[in-house]
Structures are given as C-alpha cells and as structure tokens.
Amino acid sequence: MSDSRIKFGNFNLQYNDPHDLAAIIESYVLNVYRIQKIKKGGIVVDVGAGIGEFAVIASKIVGNEGKVIAIEPSPEDFKTLQYNIKKNKCGNVIPINSAVSDKKEKLSLSFKGKNFESKADTLQNIIENLKVPVNSIHYMKMDIEGAERFVIPLSIDIIKNFDYLAIQIHDGFSSELIPYMSSQGFEFKRVERNEYILNAFKKVVLHPTDAYRLWKAFKSTGENPGLAKISSGIDISKSDELVVGLFFKPNITA
C-alpha cells in the first residue's frame, strides 16, 4: 500500500497509483456517477470500489441511517479502501474483499499491471450474507474494467430491484449491454460533455487549492486518460470504448 495522499474538500484519500487519481477525478470533480441520485438513509452498492473514493462520498450522503457496501477484489486496493474508510470516519461502509461471479470460487485476476488471486461469489450471496434486504437497495455503482459484460447478466435478478445503476462500460460492450438492460426495463442516460465540464467548473470554484493539487499530482504522473477528461482530449461522452452513464427505471428521473 502506497503512502501517497490527496485532499479534496472534506475528504482525505490515500492512493496507490495514477489510475486511482483518475478515479478520484471522476468521482470528486466530474461527478460521472451522478451522486445526486443517492438518497439520505439509502443503501448503496459499490462494485469495483477500488481505493474507496466513491464509497467515501456515498457514505456521507446516505448518513448514519444508510449503508454503503463496497466490494473490491484487489488485495492492495482493499487495504487502501479500509484505510480511507477509517481515515474519513465512514462507519457505515461495509468493505468486502471479493470479486463478483456466477458462483462461489477462487479467481486469478489482473489489474493495474498486477496479478492476484481473489475469492468470488454471486452478488446476491454477498448481499444476503450481510442480511441486507435486496429491495432496500436503491443505487449501485459499477466500474469493473470490462467484466460488466458478464457480471450484469449473471446478477440481473438482483439488479432489477435497484432504481439506479451508475456504470462505466468498457471495451465497446455498450452495444450489447444497453439493449440488454432495456429488455430488463431500464433506460440509459450517458454522461454528457457539458455536464461533466460544468461539474468540474463548480468543484474548481469551491475547492480551487485542492483542485490545483489534484491536477498537479495527476499531471506529474505523465498519465493521460484521466487528465484528458478534464482538458480538451478524449471526450468520454462520445468514446466508443468507454461509455459512462446511468441506467434507471422509466418512472424515475435520470
């Protein structure tokens, strides 16, 4: 686990590598997961929780009456997730060191250039083991680097109970997943460029020093993808390889 740290607003986060800084930008600056859809007292599931950057925000929104179930398979990221939960006093976050699969098993995985083994289980088993009623969950965020193509169909019986699924669809699989989710009663709203630019502007105005430090930290890594999302590079609202947006029920506002 790295000792690199970044502050943004009231949040203090430890991170492991540039990929984590990009994830922090997505959640804290661009708001690509539309956190305004999370309700106070609600229950949120975070699949692919990483270092916990999103779980920490969700924790503060749902408050003491709510819960955040943060699922992350990477041992290194899970340790950092636990640290960030404790550092930010998020006692309502339940960290789960696991991958999501179609059965209980051990998986060999690779992420951020590192190979590791992880236990895995179905999403339904993970939630039921926590004694959390499925129909009490209203929002799920998913960022699992392409595995969503398989995990969503395998978990659809439980996902159909949720109001919102905020997601990053990788590797061009949106042409499969969006029609599939439509057949399951969900509509999809992709994040728009003017939306995330406006979000970034508001955050920079509110937290200019923290935004500058975050920008400087990311720029110093020499990495491009996350940096381009704030500058004029890759437009995530038009990319075929990465589709970011929100699945929602027709009777609910996106």
| Residue of 212 and 226 predicted with greater confidence | 212
pLDDT of residue 232: 42
Mean pLDDT of the chain: 90
Split at pLDDT 50, 70, 90, the class of 33 is very high
- Type of residue at 249: K
Split at pLDDT 50, 70, 90, the class of 219 is confident
CA distances from 146 to 93, 150, 162, 177, 221 (A): 25, 8, 21, 11, 24
Rg, Å, the chain Cα set: 17
Domain ranges within the chain, ordered by starting residue? 4-248
- Strand 137-142 to 43-47 pairing: parallel
- For 17-26, what is each residue's pLDDT tens digit? 888 998 999 9
Whether 236 contacts 191, CB under 8 Å:
yes
CA distances from 194 to 54, 107, 110, 239 (A): 22, 40, 34, 15
Q: What is the distance between the alpha carbons of residues 120 and 126, in angstroms, rounded to a whole number?
A: 9
Q: Which helix (H) or strand (E) holds 22?
A: helix 18-24
pLDDT of residue 253: 76
Q: The tokens of 178 are what?
A: 């969006």
Place of tokens 């926590």: 130
What mean pLDDT is predicted for residues 125-131?
95
Whether 141 contacts 57, CB under 8 Å:
no
pLDDT of residue 217: 87
CA distances from 48 to 40, 140, 181, 208 (A): 22, 11, 19, 29
Place of tokens 């690509």: 32
pLDDT at 84 over 80: yes
To the question of pTM greater than 0.85 for the whole model, the response is: yes
pLDDT at 233 over 80: no
CA dihedral 30, 32, 36, 42 (to 10 degrees): -130
CA distances from 86 to 54, 89, 90, 94, 148 (A): 14, 5, 6, 11, 29
Q: What is the distance between the alpha carbons of residues 43 and 237, in angstroms, rounded to a whole number?
A: 28
| Residue of 237 and 71 predicted with greater confidence | 71
What mean pLDDT is predicted for residues 118-145?
94
Polymer length of the chain: 254
Whether 48 contacts 69, CB under 8 Å:
no
Beta partners for residue 117, in sequence order: 108
Domain 4-248, CATH: 3.40.50.150
- Range of weakest confidence among 68-82, 101-115, 137-151, 154-168: 101-115
pLDDT of residue 10: 94
Q: What is the distance between the alpha carbons of residues 187 and 249, in angstroms, rounded to a whole number?
A: 6
Q: What is the distance between the alpha carbons of residues 175 and 11, in angstroms, rounded to a whole number?
A: 36
pLDDT at 53 over 60: yes
Q: What is the distance between the alpha carbons of residues 205 and 215, in angstroms, rounded to a whole number?
A: 14
